[in-house]
Every structure is written in C-alpha cells, then in structure tokens.
Amino acid sequence: RLSLVGSEMCIRDSSSSPLPRRKIVRLPDYDYSQCGAYFVTLCTENRAEILSQIGRGGALLRPVGHIAEQLLLDLPQHYPVQIDKYVVMPNHLHCILRITVPSSAVSLSGIVCAYKSLTTKAANQAMQTPGRKLWQRSYYEHIIRDEPDYQEIWQYIDENPQKWEIDRFYGKGTR
C-alpha cells in the first residue's frame, strides 16, 4: 500500500497484499536532504524508447526528450540543486544532481518525484496522451562519495550514447 509522508513515497507492508514486497534500495540511516552529489537514473515506463534516438552525433532528442531535458535543467529554479552532468537516452535518463543547500523540506526523493510528475504532465499535454505513465515507479540513485567516484560517473554519462548498443537498457523496451 502506498502513502505519502511529506514529499516521500513510502511502501507500507501489508500481509494481505498480493503484490511482492519491493526491495528497499535507499540507505536506511542516510539523510538524502543533505548537501551532496547523487547519480540518478530514471527509466521510462516499460522501457519505451520515447526520449531520444542514438545517432552518430550522440543522443538526438525526441519531443518528449526535449521536455525531459528542459524540466531537468529548470530544477535549480525550484530547488537548491545543480545539474552537473546529464544524458537523455532513448529509454532512460542519467544525471549527476547536486543538492547545494540542506533542507528538511526537500530531499532527493522529493525532487525526483516532483520532476517525474512535472515531466509526465507536460509530456502528456504536449503529446495529447492524458493519463499515460512516462516513468517507471522507482528510480536508481548512488551517493557520490569522492572525486574518483564522481569522475567515473561523469565519464559513464559522457560515454553512454556511444555504448548504447551494449547498454543494459538497450532493446529492453518498445520502440
């Protein structure tokens, strides 16, 4: 059973639920509202390849990809964040998101939840597809702990379009 607690989505254990219990991937005692850099990956619903296509010049954005990019770049106008690096792939988006000011009112999951909601609403409005899900339910995050970790992730994001055909998300969804 899902419920909203502040800006966080929480999964409540219900023994009568027919759904399998989701694995918790966040660190239990980590404060995701503190300053720091995070590697975030969002996947489209059913890994649909609707954000971009990969060509010789890298990722060529489709209309929904342009919306996803613009709203990602607009996040610093609404939250104390900085987008250090990003790439919009055909069925997923990677970014290094840095929280610049600690705030008990805003956490990484709250920012991601708001971003997913805003992009879904804008994409559905632009594509005239009301109610269509754009993103998978959860997201991947990794706390960037030091400069070598940061550089490795930066390089991964930078090289991701050139490695699309060997990417673990390649060919996993609808085209």
Running along the chain, 175 residues long, what does each successive block of 10 average in pLDDT? 31 46 61 90 96 89 98 97 97 96 89 97 95 94 95 96 73 58
CB 22 within 8 A of CB 127: no
> Tell me, what's the pLDDT at 8?
36
Q: Dihedral of CA 71/126/43/51: which sign?
A: negative
Rounded distance between C-alpha atoms, residue 20 and residue 18, angstroms: 7
DSSP, collapsed to helix, strand or coil, labels residue 148 as helix
Rounded distance between C-alpha atoms, residue 132 and residue 62, angstroms: 17
> Tell me, what's the pLDDT at 58?
86
> Tell me, what's the pLDDT at 134?
97
Q: pTM to 2 decimals?
A: 0.81
> Tell me, what's the pLDDT at 16?
52
> Tell me, what's the pLDDT at 148?
97
Rounded distance between C-alpha atoms, residue 43 and residue 41, angstroms: 7
DSSP, collapsed to helix, strand or coil, labels residue 26 as coil
